[in-house]
Amino acid sequence: MKNLLGCILLCFFLSGCMKDKFSIPDVNGIDGSFNLYRMETALMSLDTNEIENGLEKLMLDHPSFMGIYMNNIMGFSDNENPNIQSQNVKGFIQDHNIQLLFQAEQIHYNDFSELSAKFEKAFQFYKYYFPEKNIPDIYTFISEYGYQRFIFSDEKGEDALGLGLDLFLGSEYPYQDLIPNNPAFSSYLIRSFDKVHIVKKSIDALVEDIMGEDQENNMLQKMVRNGKKLYIVDHILPFEPDSVITEYTEKQLNWCQENELEMWAYFLKEDLFYETSINKINKYVNPSPNSPGMPTEAPGRTGNYMGWKIVEAFMEKNPNTTLQELVELDDAQKILDISKYKPRK
């Protein structure tokens, strides 16, 4: 009993300290419920002897998702030959490799209850910070490794979230063997193709949608923009560790925390803050195994990490600024100046 009480107290302590950078609001009174549609199960369960009738019902029940899935994701439809759609779906269902993929997906996600609870809690915070946004319904699917997540408008004109569960099967799943030489399945990327990161990557999609199209054209602007995204995701998922928010390993995160000053000095030395060459910028703000020019221990996206620290410093000095107002602030230089950010030594 003592050990159990000790564990409870320890968990409480850890959860309370996890985000000591900001106070976590009480969202228990906010409805974060959503509808979950397991579209991969519905599709793979169709009777192939009655494929047209079964497919027609799915299209009637979920016209928005099925339209996107059939036309844009899988390319099953053919306007010149309507019969080809049912033939393609039947072939998909009966394909041995697709059946193996579906079995693997079911092993990982047959029981979605734990993830549903995490999504509901995240949506409570999402609604707290962005009250004008609707809670999205979730549509899961498999696309033979084509799409991981996307936002779309459902038949009510509201945001909905599509999740390709075949791209969340874990780092041990043989993505690289199945699709050799595809850079999308590099080890530093598939490390986060798992259940631990699925809610975070989903919230990423919602925040990216709120942020709108990326029109920034220099390094500082992209750093601050991506720093905003990290800051917002961090608030919507306050109980997730920073290693999940950044998609870093603990070792990589520790390196960034211990080398803020060195990273800042490197960006200054190389005159990178106002760099406009997209090829140079991408090395520090897009996923990559490392940050060129920095020590080998430095992970990729160090520019985003520094942008996050700038935004944190800005918000500490402007605590009454809402997350929606933060989104609307488009002057990266002003945010940096007001933040008076000083890298941690």
φ and ψ at residue 103, rounded to 5 degrees: -60, -40
Complete DSSP assignment for 78-100: -TT-THHHHHHHHHHHH-HHHHH
- Other CB atoms closer than 10 Å to residue 193's CB: what's the count? 22
Q: What is the pLDDT of residue 19?
A: 58
pLDDT in tens, 268-298: 999 999 999 999 999 999 999 999 999 999 9
CA gap 126, 120 in Å, rounded: 10
The DSSP-derived string for 44-72 is: HTS-GGGHHHHHHHHHHHSHHHHHIIIII
Which tokens is 8 given?
């409870």
For residues 40 and 164, what is the distance between their CA atoms, to the nearest angstrom?
A: 9
Model confidence pTM above 0.85: yes
8 A C-beta contact, residue 290 and residue 296: yes
User: What integer pLDDT is reported at residue 18 of this predicted model?
Assistant: 45
Beta strands in the chain (DSSP E): 36-38, 137-141, 149-153, 159-164
What token pair was written down for 221? 């602007």
Residues of the chain with pLDDT under 70: 1-20, 79-80, 82
Q: Give me the amino acid identity at 205.
A: A
Cβ atoms 56, 47 nearer than 8 A: no
The predicted structure's pLDDT at residue 98: 97
